[in-house]
Structure 1
Amino acid sequence: MEGLTLTGVLRKAAGEFPSRRAISVPGRLDLSHERLHQLVDDAAARLAAAGVSPGDVIALAFPNTVELVIVFLAVIRARAVVAPLNSAYTEDEFVFYLSDLETKLLVTNAEGNAAAEAAAAQLGIPRAAASLRDASGTLELSLPDGATTADVAVTPLAGRVNDPSDVALFLHTSGTTSRPKGVPLTQLNLAASVTNIRSAYRLTESDSTVIVLPLFHVHGLVAALLSSLSAGASVALPAAGRFSASTFWADMRASGATWYTAVPTIHQILLDRHASRPEPVYPKLRFIRSCSASLAPVILEHLEAAFGAPVLEAYAMTEAAHQMASNPLPDDGPRKPGAVGRPTGLEMAILDEEGARRPPNVPGEVCIRGPNVTKGYKNNPEANKAAFAFGWFHTGDVGFLDADGYLHLVGRIKELINRGGTHPSPPIPIVPCIPLCNLSVLESLHLLLRREDIAHRSGRGAVGPPGHRARGGVRRAGRQVRRGDQLRGDTEGRGGGGRGRGGETLPEEPGSVQGAEAGVHHGLAAEDRHREDPTADRGRVLRASGQGTKGRRLKPSPITYGYQQP
């Protein structure tokens, strides 16, 4: 039973490697696996004593902090359901998510979150705050009545035995093309996922990583945090609570990091910094993982050359509790640029419209099944009917398996954009970057701008041969997007091939474009059609080129995208 629940997997790791470091914040604290386990059990018991019951949904609105990790694991240990939310959501967004989740309690850090608290007050949801002063103390949880959990009589959680079928984590899809769908993930889903990831990358207690991705999102949460903890390995959280290119390599060296996982945007930013301010020495890494967006082969090559480690591209989505496929480590097989690898720990098939398997190299819908896959969306029978058919979960992605079993993605079943309640198809095909070029904007294929009367805008980017410049483009911060405008992306010479998927970012002001060009990473994978850019503060995105936000000038990079109004 222990290996069939996430709590059991983590308990086993804590028992095997009690004194090894589990989590650290540079300059603040270090927690061993044993100490982390004690803090989690204590916090879980306090939550239960304060009235949290099995099945209750507990929403979290935190930056990336140790308190977030402890509360996250404590909620699951108490047999409640944890729902981490983007702390940068607006009040209206919090109202939607807190309501849709049927939230029983909102937990924030000690500093609080004004938007989340206002939304919770509007919905009549109580709020608690969590703080950990140092590694030797206990996690303090304030309660809605002004008391703390220190004032509550606490008894051990012996009566709450975690079951594989317990819903442990609740996430939402992004809703780029429709209303966000609720994805419940069980203890078994999470245990299977971290086991698959740990096996694919041979993670052990000797490994360490720095988490650069937000922990409200499945990529950072499962691939970086939970998979590491399940192996007895260690993770470091940036002191600022978010990714910073200026401190990343120092944090990696200080923590003895052996690998990291990130989205292509972050890889590109690190390459830019390497070109302008190279580190005197880089840590020796076993591998670099890339997920949540298509990684251009040229960027993969540059990463490997710059940082001296194999780059492994992976494929993932929320409904699979993250990873579905990955390129292997060098000892386990070749890695293929442009492919997202071989299935990891689940069954994968390419099916036609009738549910029949496609032969190798013939495109169809990518379908999966396995213990890490959700059993269905919450309260959404129509979505479940469409997604679960012929005994498979249908990802909505179009791709093919080659003769070696590697998955190549070529598009989406429905490339639709939600605009004011209608769903027009994209005006031009999406062309992922392949050629060597000079870039004028981040590797982006979609530009989704949001305002109250128009749900989303779409944009497309394409790359041209070396020396060609992007024509037109939305280039000035604050430039207004008028109702009816359609932003197209083009260059004077088009290159590349295949299809990708895109994601969305929110401009700083409704209807405006911030930065030199308002791009997001291209080819976002199914799990990440989400306002998820981990390099972004609320409403702004640091660009890897052109005139960035706050007037920062960032170094050009090797891919060209442009946007123009027809």
Structure 2
Amino acid sequence: MSAAPLRMSRRVMNLAHIMTQNGRRLGDRIGFVWGERSWTWREIDAMVSALAAALAEQGIVKGDRILVHSKNCEEMFVSMFAAFRLGAIWVPTNFRLMPDEVTYLATASGAKAFLCHGDFPEHAAAVTTADFTWCIGESGSFGTRSVAEAMKAHAGVDVANADVEHDDPCWFFFTSGTTGRSKAAVLTHGQMAFVITNHLADLTPDTTEHDASLVVAPLSHGAGVHQLMQSARGAKTVLLPSEKFDITEAFRLIQAYRVSNLFTVPTILKMMVEHPAVEQFDHSSLRHVIYAGAPMYREDQKRALARLGKVIVQYFGLGEVTGNITVLPAAAHEEEDGPQARIGTCGYERTGMQVSIQDDGGRELKPGETGEICVIGPAVFAGYYDNPEANAKAFRDGWFRTGDLGHMDAQGFVYITGRASDMYISGGSNIYPREVEEKILTHPDIGEVAVLGVPDPVWGEVGVAVCVPREGAVTPSESDMAGYLATKLPRYKMPKRFFFWDALPKSGYGKIPKRLVRDELEARGLLDLTKQG
């Protein structure tokens, strides 16, 4: 007779306990720096309790959603842990969104409270579904009160961390919405405890309270996850003084605070290592310069390694998997091409995670065969909030389907070919833009490129390459580019047209979404090649 399955509570640590721990053990150490101001861990923990008490007074309880639309600042950082402390759900937005987009997020999440930065009165006015609105910072005069006033009124109040279980939601992580409306990926206390541990093990091992982390991206998404795991080790968080990405100021802060790690995306890292400031300030304290969000082109990798040394770390992961799919640690980045370089890989499986390359039917493919990258493990989110249709599409036999195409070699290193939506078919052949982009970027005068397929009456689709010349370089002609690539690409992969722009459109996180490039091509009348002679 088999034993009955155990049905026990899966009680876990409330993530706000990180602040409790830091306040106790590291109370006098600086935990947060922004401009000329700094806060100790004891002060931050007290601010978290004060804001939690103020929110509780307004009726916020476990499970309620708190929408936060804000530029990076100390009150946004505190709001995360205040929500966690109550067992409520933190719902941050990209502060660059328009008022109608934030209104949609408020409705989709069912937000009960809205904390809005003072620079966005139009957003505050547009969100009418929340029970109350509070203003973040000193620049605004809307809402029933400011977050600072709310914390001051409850200063000294000690709020205990709410009891939570493994699957209790703590964060609605809105996807960037590459297709259709953004979706709320539900992150839980138990899942995020694993993510913190995994990030520390795989991305910034040996992190302690003596380290410092520079924030160069919005705390609403990947940078927020990064700072959460840095906080778990008591490392101080250093913000840029404004939302403007000032590279000189970034390197000055790295030198001033002996910054040991930062999280960014390839396009931002590329800008940093190509800026004169990289030679003007001491950045020898950097041990882990983490880039994610998109693959980094090989030529850009080489340049970063030459400027910073062997400190860059790549990971591949989506918001739905909280960044936990693969890692390519610093030691695996090679400065020179060769057998050891594994050019194009995004690394191997993260600790505790399993990756499978699958065909359309869910069959696992052999090494070297291209299919969809799928993943299982404790970092996978709980599903999309109130969206059964999206959940049905996202999961198959328990595997989360990333929508990214790639293959795995015999040693388990994963190579991303591109988004399934980016691939185009020309004359019956599958073309993966990333492969073509890598070849184009070996041209000494090209700094950025985006390749995508456009309709063609003969071949079905053909490729076009939108190129950005390097600063000071002479812009090549289309025939120059075709001649340069003639020995590097088979003819069927050669773009039919090359366009040269001053810049490529970028998202609020510094990525180059193909949908934005396609929109710009359409706006310029360049999608229909049959009308261009």
Equivalent residue number for residue 268 of structure 1 = 270
Point out the structure with the larger strand share: 2
How far off its partner does 1:25 sit?
1.5
* Residue identity matched to 1:157: V
The answer as to 2:132 corresponding to 1:130 is no
Query: Given that residues 14 and 161 in structure 2 are in contact (C-alpha distance below 8 angstroms), is that contact kept between their aligned partners in structure 1?
Result: no
* Correspondence list, 1:499-518, <5 A: 516-518=501-503
Equivalent residue number for residue 377 of structure 2 = 370
1:376 and 1:290 map into 2 onto residues whose CA distance is 25
Once the two structures are superposed, residues 20-41 of structure 1 have per-residue CA deviations (whole angstroms, 9 ceiling, x without a partner) of 32211232x2222333222212
Query: Given that residues 172 and 181 in structure 1 are in contact (C-alpha distance below 8 angstroms), is that contact kept between their aligned partners in structure 2?
Result: yes
Q: 1:351/1:215 Cα in 2 relative to 1: closer, same or farther (>3 Å)?
A: same
Matched positions, count: 471
* Residue identity matched to 1:294: P
Match of 2:257 among 250, 255, 258: 255
Once the two structures are superposed, residues 37-92 of structure 1 have per-residue CA deviations (whole angstroms, 9 ceiling, x without a partner) of 22212221221122212211111111111111011221121111111112222222
Query: Given that residues 423 and 430 in structure 2 are in contact (C-alpha distance below 8 angstroms), is that contact kept between their aligned partners in structure 1?
Result: no
How far off its partner does 1:318 sit?
0.6
* Residue identity matched to 2:108: D
How far off its partner does 1:170 sit?
0.8
How far off its partner does 1:491 sit?
5.8
Equivalent residue number for residue 209 of structure 2 = 205
The answer as to 2:64 corresponding to 1:56 is yes
Equivalent residue number for residue 299 of structure 2 = 298
Once the two structures are superposed, residues 198-221 of structure 1 have per-residue CA deviations (whole angstroms, 9 ceiling, x without a partner) of 11120332321210011122x211
TM-score (norm 2): 0.77
TM-score (norm 1): 0.73
Equivalent residue number for residue 279 of structure 2 = 278
Q: 1:118/1:446 Cα in 2 relative to 1: closer, same or farther (>3 Å)?
A: farther
The answer as to 2:417 corresponding to 1:396 is no
How far off its partner does 1:459 sit?
6.9
Q: 1:143/1:289 Cα in 2 relative to 1: closer, same or farther (>3 Å)?
A: same
SS in 1 for 2:324: strand
* Correspondence list, 1:151-162, <5 A: 151=153, 156-158=158-160, 160-162=162-164
**Which segment drifts farther, 186-195 or 345-354?**
345-354
**Which segment drifts farther, 335-344 or 308-317?**
335-344
Q: 1:53/1:383 Cα in 2 relative to 1: closer, same or farther (>3 Å)?
A: same
CA RMSD of aligned residues (A): 3.9
How far off its partner does 1:310 sit?
2.6
% identical aligned pairs = 22
Query: Given that residues 322 and 381 in structure 2 are in contact (C-alpha distance below 8 angstroms), is that contact kept between their aligned partners in structure 1?
Result: yes
How far off its partner does 1:519 sit?
0.9
1:5 and 1:146 map into 2 onto residues whose CA distance is 26
The answer as to 2:391 corresponding to 1:387 is no
The answer as to 2:448 corresponding to 1:437 is no
Equivalent residue number for residue 320 of structure 2 = 319
SS in 2 for 1:106: strand
Q: 1:132/1:43 Cα in 2 relative to 1: closer, same or farther (>3 Å)?
A: farther
* Residue identity matched to 2:53: A
Q: 1:565/1:287 Cα in 2 relative to 1: closer, same or farther (>3 Å)?
A: farther
Match of 1:6 among 15, 18, 32: 15
In structure 2, the gaps of 5 or more residues are 1-9, 335-339, 455-462, 491-499, 517-525
The answer as to 2:247 corresponding to 1:245 is yes
In structure 1, the gaps of 5 or more residues are 134-139, 418-424, 449-457, 473-489, 499-514, 522-529, 540-562
Once the two structures are superposed, residues 354-410 of structure 1 have per-residue CA deviations (whole angstroms, 9 ceiling, x without a partner) of 323223222222111122211211222222112111121111111122222211111
The answer as to 2:171 corresponding to 1:169 is yes
How far off its partner does 1:534 sit?
8.2
Point out the structure with the larger helix share: 2
